[in-house]
Amino acid sequence: MMLVLCDYCDSKTVVIFCRADSAKLCISCDQYVHSANALSLKYVHSQICNNCRNEPAAVRCATDNLVLCNDCDSDTHNSSFVASSIHARHRLYGFSGCPLP
């Protein structure tokens, strides 16, 4: 799996997707970019998928302790009825503010 680098610094691995900016950011750059003013602190963010490391996470699987994008969740959990039915999964809706580095 290829690591996806931050759109801002182009050196660290992405962990946050900012919907308003359509940007994939590392924690440090997210903090730097979005702590600049009160409006940008309201932008909705998502974690990046633990599997593909490229798309915003849409589901948290508590059983596997993973956050997954829609495609990876479908590939993982819909491939077998057993995995889908016994895993504790919850829809993610994003968050505002900046996580601390």
What tens digit of pLDDT does each residue of 5-20 get? 999 999 999 999 998 8
pLDDT score recorded for residue 13: 93
Overall average pLDDT of the 54-65 stretch:
91
Q: How would you list the strands of the sheet with 89-91, edge to edge?
A: 66-68, 59-61, 89-91
pTM of the model: 0.79
77-95 residue pLDDT tens: 776 555 556 788 889 888 7
Report the alpha-carbon distance of residue 64 to residue 101 in Å, rounded: 24
